[in-house]
Amino acid sequence: MRHLAFLLAVTVAGVVTVGCSAPPSPEAPAGPQSALTTEVQLEHDGLERSFRVTVPADAGDKELPMLVALHGAGGSAVTLSYLTGFDLAVPDARFVLVEPNGTGPDSGTRTWNAGTCCGSSVGTVDDVGFLAAILDRVAADFPVDADRVYLAGFSNGGMLAYRAACELGERVAGIAVVAGTMNVEGCPAAAPVPVLAVHGDGDTVVPFAGGESSYGDPRVEPWYNLPVEEAVGFWAERNGCPSEPEESTVGAARVIEWDGCSVELWVVQGGRHTWFGGPMSAGSGLEPDGAPSATDLVLDFFGLTA
């Protein structure tokens, strides 16, 4: 009853930030709520880090799957939440949502050390270790199904999801990457990892065919990107998928998937660098008519649906 008793003890409104030595206090706005959000600070590798946790208000002690959502370069936990709307699915789909923040000189340059990308975090910040520490912390404070821990990332966050799949092994039950690719030197992963990738073939920030990014912020050094199909193909081979995938068309997307194997690539034809179906995409020229909802694809891939 640790979680239930903890929720009953909450009597104040607003976001409460806590240190790593005390259990988190959820956000408790006035009126009935279907989900509770916590903001947590956690010291890791000499740095003060932070993340948000959203759980169903009536979670009780039943073990729930966990979805860790990773923002892109220059973003934050809050901005990614706005793009994805994952928090809106928490009450009905019954999962724990974790949204960490990257690091950077200021709030506009937060990045993740995803291998060769991105920004000041590369080669200096232990973000994979930070993710592992988050998994430990959340599991200590909330009932989590350790066999159903998923990572979903946008752009640089998707790159970190690939890296974590390589380095955290069986702690990751699957990853979903939107507008990102795998930019690591070597991948020690021994176990199969289900992979969903969603990418626009008109993306120039993380080019679908690979190559240097057009990110354009002078505070973030340019980086080279592995072709997206090569990244997905690596996992298809690592997971023991059949050699030839099947291809179909769904709306504006070309869907490549391996029969009987949890590896999928959705290529949005004419799509650019965006979280497809999000509030910044429709009518902005970043996605064509008929583009899929990345949020729906991710939740469905992980079985996080009501």
Per DSSP, the residues of 245-287 read -EEEEETTEEEEE-TTSSEEEEEETT--SS-TTSTTTTTTTSS
Q: How far apart are CA 72 and CA 156, in angstroms?
A: 5
What are the backbone dihedrals phi and psi of residue 142, each rounded to the nearest 5 degrees, phi first? -135, 150
Nearest to 155 by CA among 182, 135, 123, 130: 182
Q: In angstroms, rounded to a whole number, what is the distance separating the alpha carbons of residues 242 and 261? A: 8
Q: How many CB atoms lie within 10 A of CB 48?
A: 11
Q: What are the CA-CA distances from residue 159 to residues 26, 45, 72, 73, 163 (Å)?
A: 30, 21, 9, 10, 6
Q: Where does the pLDDT of residue 18 fall: very low under 50, low under 70, confident under 90, or very high at 90 and above?
A: very low
Predicted confidence at residue 305, as pLDDT, reads: 93
Question: Quick one: what percent of the chain has pLDDT higher than 90?
Answer: 76
Q: For the chain, what are the domain ranges?
A: 2-301
Which segment of 51-55, 62-66, 213-217, 236-240 scores lowest on mean pLDDT? Answer: 213-217
Phi, psi dihedral angles at 61 (to 5 degrees): -110, 5
Residues in the chain: 306
Q: Which residues, at least 6 apart from 253, have a Cβ–Cβ distance to it below 8 Å?
A: 198, 266, 267, 268, 269, 290, 291, 292
Residue scoring higher pLDDT (158 or 190) = 158
- Of 168, 197, 203, 202, the C-alpha closest to 182 is 197
- CA 124, 129, 135: angle at the middle one, nearest 5? 150
CB half-sphere exposure, 171, CA atoms < 13 A = 17
**pLDDT of 245 strictly over 80:** yes
Average pLDDT, the chain: 88
pLDDT at 294: 98
- Alpha-carbon distance 185 to 115, whole Å? 7
Q: What pLDDT, on the 0 to 100 scale, is given for residue 33?
A: 64
pLDDT, position 255: 98
Say what the pLDDT of residue 252 is: 97
pLDDT in tens, 108-145: 889 999 999 999 999 999 999 999 999 999 999 999 99
Residue 25 pLDDT: 37
The crossing angle, in degrees rounded to 10, of helices 77-84 and 86-93 is 70
How far apart CA 181 and CA 253 sit, in angstroms, is 18
pLDDT beyond 60 at 239: yes
Least confident segment among 21-25, 76-80, 265-269, 288-292: 21-25
Record the tokens describing residue 220, joined without a space.
Answer: 């973030």
Tokens 């891939």 locate to 301
Q: Residue range 18-33: average pLDDT?
A: 38
2 has pLDDT over 50: no
Cβ(44)–Cβ(33) below 8 Å:
no
pLDDT digits (tens, 9 = 90+) for 165-201: 999 988 999 999 999 999 998 898 778 999 999 999 9
CA angle, corner 64, sides to 175 and 196, nearest 5? Answer: 15
**Looking at domain 2-301, what is its CATH homologous superfamily?**
Alpha/Beta hydrolase fold, catalytic domain (3.40.50.1820)
pLDDT tens profile 91-116: 999 999 999 999 998 888 899 999 99
How far is residue 148's CA from residue 173's CA, in Å, rounded to a whole number?
Answer: 6
**Per-residue pLDDT at 7 exceeds 60:** no
Q: State yes or no: pLDDT of 13 exceeds 90.
A: no
